[in-house]
Structure 1
């Protein structure tokens, strides 16, 4: 039958291809023959239903793909990445034993100059880790994060889809949520609507799956939801699972964001400020536990030279003002006002107060008095720098 014939073909073909394509140096000089060789393997993988039989030659498949994924000819790279995705799915029972050998060459090809090659490389990485050793997430997160700076939207969308599938399907996904979460949530900040909508859909599904898998622990939150009295405008509240995932992982995500907000690279500061907006929305009042350090970094970011960074930090502070009671955030920043007078500190007040209702202000009249004392202190009122005066008129 056909499968027996393919067995015979593979027993002869695979050693020959390893010799021609799988060595340290590519022996086969013809781009067309290298491309045709991968095309034949791709067709065999497509029509051969028995993954376990294919896996008998897994070492040979990997030896070839490890080299052809970084082939000088872009079409060979692209087709090799497509074949890698098919092979990972077909041989999933054995693939984890050897998958790590493909991660480095795929990551290298994710930087290729052709966008279509980058997309296939990202998809291949997704499948290699999905069906292979999940531990490879650790070395893949940073290269994937770099792809968010890619000018081609299909590349950024590929990252979102891969990370979303990982968060839904990886066997060991709980161990890596803190690494994957910032990647997926970054999709909310993209300029392309399709990417934002895909992010929202995947994140919602991740939350629902988490709810289902932890139904017993979350049943009170699901059955008796704690609905906030006020909520930032134009935002939809995430489901319980999403909020719980952020709550559990925010302590491991915030330090990196705070660190990146002081980075000398402008693009890094912009991305981290955008992510902080999303995190303060999703974390709700959980952010309180990490608020003092966050507010200190925000006060520095509010005097950033880049207007977009200042704008995003403002939005994050507005979210905080909605979720964290005024007495909590005020008591955290008051000692800093007593020690120093700076434009960054002053700029914290207006966005934080945006989320405070008139009733709350009336109930905390002593805080209002203290706020007025702070902004009317001579260090500010006697300072005739235009920016200080402008802040005093918020």
Structure 2
């Protein structure tokens, strides 16, 4: 019976083989499907071997069948045989792999169907997996066939074929110890896949390249080429790709032969992932990197144990709050410190023309500084100019990241070392915005105790004209950032000294105080060069904070402003209103005003500008004088105030009041009379004594072309004391003529001024008769303007007439009797009489 059943099976197989060879497609496919069912039911290796012996030639031939479905069925049958065999059958190595190579492993791929190509590649992977062994290299004799297939299909146009090839490579690396023989040949086609449009292909290519790199001869440049090619993917838009770059980096750090020689190139792959935007990637790579550090510690235990004994403290007091949640392990730090030659690569990338590349390299640099700590000090001189250059542009993500790096360096590096070098560069390039920004961030990161001893040196450098006299708005803003830090430190020192009751603490800080005061005043002064008030307001806040109290502000101004004014050079040259020197003088006058300690210095500076500079510059300075005198405080001058003001008016303002032809002269007169008016309002007593001597100028200015000049001239007359009679008469006549002025404001001031105009009755030319005649003319003219269309004129007229009625009652009555019996005038007269009685 057994022999009969076996005969039937043989006949059935012969029939199947006959049908597989049939010229009809349908018969071949039916036979192959039946064979697949037969194979799937076999469980014994002996039965499978007998079955294979009878059918293998037909199966191999089906691999070249012209119909895709037939070829696919043959591949499925071989896959089923492969999975059913418990042992290893040489058939797959001797027949199937060479056949597959002929189909898809030659320079020109014979197999046309992409689906069948993928099936064949999957079958190669199954064969490699089946024949892997730790004891014997079964794949050695087919190694070249497998490599030819893989290398050819890595450049396949079919994306799935790429990924399947990568899986075969990964299996082959495990399956045969001979993988290293042609591993280098895989590098170039795998690198080509790193630019594939599909992220899954890029991810698989990175993973495979990481495995291949372990088997490459390190003496050639293929490994370096691999690292360089993977590095750009650290900024890939897909998180899986970036994650795989970090994993490969950690794998190489732990498993690569001669890995110590490549640390400087591999470590950046890992550190970049520690700054990834996704927390999951950061945490995963961080754990892997800790394992790398632990391994490095074990490999260098004797050396690192000595360091561990003395390296148990954090490098700075505020490490946890502002640097990192946890300090990196000693092994990780030592690994990075051994790789500091990578700074050469980072420096080149920081200077790249692409902003994303610069940003990426700066983030990497931040991690390097974090792990290197004080060991990074040796690289500071090399890096500082590049970091300063990165801070040079307008505020953007690159500048912000560069400032973060500088801040971290200030925290972790040796203070004295970087301070010496940074100060040297700051002196050499005082107007370089990038160096100032970088220095500011470095200084901000340093510890308070270290910074306190450097305040005087830094403030002295910054107060120089080369650095402080800069009209650039951004430069001023950065300078204020640095000043803000130093002001805070200085105030803390003052407060500490006061609490400790240290005698003469102010004397101990005198130089620091002087330099900082000069810097603040100069910066606030120069901020007037542009329209942005943010810097001015911020500077004023710092100024008030620095001075602490109004009384102390006056003291500081008296002590240090004179030196600032004297320090403004070349005022005897011709300057425009935009000149840094003119802006500086204008700002100083506006901010500090006039005090007796520096009154003469300011007067001399203003005089030089009025004598030498352009008209616009003169106008600007006179406007500053005007603003300063509005807030003029002469209480501390006592008897000196009258003499100082008299000389200032005589030397500075009076020459500017003299009429000269031209629009510029017209504007200068307007600003000069405005400054004189400011003196009249702030120094009322002194003005009453000084202004009468300026009557001849007032007479001219009341008739000036500019309405604003006429208005300010009348305001000055209002603040003046008694005029000599002849000047009084002329002024009265001129002001009466202003009642017809086209400017309503001038008319109002003229009406207001007429009853307030004072005459010196002790003057030899004074006559009551003439005086009454003038009063009669004034009252008569005032009545004529009761019908002025400007509605604000009427109450002013009533007030002036009331004052004239009280001042000249007889004249007023006589003029009132002359008025027509009109209801309007009667109402006015009745109202005026009530006012006079009151």
TM-score by length of 1: 0.94
Post-superposition offset of 1:255: 1.5
User: C-alpha distance in 2, partners of 1:24/1:305?
Assistant: 54
Residue 229 of structure 1 deviates from its aligned partner by: 4.3
Q: How far apart in 1 are the matches of 2:471 and 2:122? A: 72
The reply on whether 1:68 has 2:157 as its aligned counterpart is no
Partner of 2:209: 125
Partner of 1:16: 99
Describe the SS at the equivalent of 2:339: helix
Offset at 1:131? Answer: 4.4
Partner of 2:236: 150
Q: For residues 205 and 359 of structure 1, do their structure 2 counterparts lie closer, same or farther at Cα, with a shift above 3 Å needed?
A: same
**Residue aligning to 1:53:** 138
Which is higher, the Rg of structure 1 or of structure 2?
2
Alpha-carbon separation, structure 1, partners of 2:479 and 2:214: 54
Query: Which residue does 1:279 correspond to in 2?
Result: 368
- 1:195 counterpart = 2:281: yes
* The one of 239, 260, 268 aligned to 2:357: 268
Distance 1:321 1:247 in 2: 18
Q: Which 5+ residue runs of structure 1 have no aligned equivalent?
A: none
Does structure 1 residue 230 correspond to structure 2 residue 317?
yes
Q: Offset at 1:332?
A: 0.4
> Do 1:89 and 1:131's aligned partners in 2 also have CA atoms closer than 8 Å?
no
How much has 1:152 moved relative to structure 2? 1.0
1-side partners of 2:458 and 2:89: how far apart? 79
Determine the structure 1 residue equivalent to 2:163.
78
The answer as to 2:394 corresponding to 1:293 is no
Paired residue for 1:255? 344
Q: Counterpart in 2 of 1:208?
A: 294
Q: Is 2:98 aligned against 1:27?
A: no
User: CA 1:144–1:381 in 2, change beyond 3 Å: closer, same or farther?
Assistant: same
2:150 & 2:312 partners in 1: Cα distance? 52
**Distance in 1, Cα, partners of 2:478 & 2:88:** 79
From 74, 99, 108, the equivalent of 2:183 is 99
Instruction: State the SS of the aligned residue for 1:97.
Output: helix
Structure 2 partner of 1:389: 476
Report Cα offsets for 1:338-389 as digits up to 9, x if no partner: 2222111111222112222222233x2xx32111122222233322221011
Distance 1:173 1:387 in 2: 47
Q: Provide the aligned C-alpha RMSD in A.
A: 1.8
| Pair 1:139-2:225 in alignment | yes
Contact 2:362 2:401 in 1 (8 A): yes
Partner of 1:355: 445
Deviations 1:94-141 (A, max 9, x none): 111111111111111121111111111111111222345456321101
Instruction: Report the secondary structure of 1:140's partner residue.
Output: helix
Greater shift, 45-54 or 170-179, is seen at 45-54
Give me the whole-angstrom Cα distance separating, in 1, the residues matched to 2:298 and 2:244.
Answer: 27
Distance change in 2, residues 1:223/1:330 (3 Å):
closer
Equivalent residue number for residue 161 of structure 1: 247
The SS at the match of 2:237 is coil
Distance 1:225 1:357, change over 3 A: closer
CA deviations over 1:203-229 (Å, ceiling 9, x no partner): 111111000111112111234434224
Give structure 2 stretches of 5+ with no counterpart: 1-44, 46-84, 482-838
CA distance in 2, matches of 1:5, 1:234: 58
2:335 corresponds, among 245, 248, 266, to 245
1:137-170 per-residue CA deviation (whole Å, 9 max, x = no partner) reads: 2110111011123211111111111111111112
Q: Describe the shift of the 1:5–1:316 C-alpha distance in structure 2 as closer, same or farther (beyond 3 A).
A: closer
Q: In the alignment, is the contact (CA less than 8 A) between 1:320 and 1:352 conserved in 2? A: yes
Between Structure 1 and Structure 2, how many residues are aligned?
A: 389
Cα deviation 1:243-275 (Å, max 9, x = unaligned):
11121210x111111121111121211111111
Q: Is the 8 A contact 1:69 1:106 kept in 2?
A: yes
CA distance in 1, matches of 2:260, 2:412: 27
Distance 1:5 1:213, change over 3 A: closer
Is this contact kept in 1: 2:370–2:408, CA < 8 A?
yes
Deviation by residue 1:14-44 (Cα, 9 ceiling, x = unmatched): 2222222122221211111111101111122
Cα distance in 1 between the residues matched to 2:275 and 2:462 = 34
- 8 Å CA contact retained: 1:380, 1:388: no
State the distance in 2 between where 1:118 and 1:164 align.
18
d(CA) in 1 for partners of 2:429, 2:249: 44
Q: Are the counterparts in 2 of residues 261 and 301 from structure 1 also a CA contact under 8 Å?
A: yes
Cα separation, 1, equivalents of 2:211 and 2:425:
50
Equivalent residue in structure 2 for 1:36, among 105, 119, 122: 119
Q: Is the 8 A contact 1:89 1:127 kept in 2?
A: no
Q: CA deviation at 1:5?
A: 5.2
Do the aligned partners of residues 298 and 49 (structure 1) sit closer, same or farther apart at CA in structure 2, a change above 3 Å counting?
closer
Q: Does 1:320 align with 2:400?
A: no
**CA deviation vs aligned residue, 1:58-86 (integer Å, no higher than 9, x gap):** 11110000011221111111111111111
- The answer to whether 1:369 aligns with 2:456 is yes
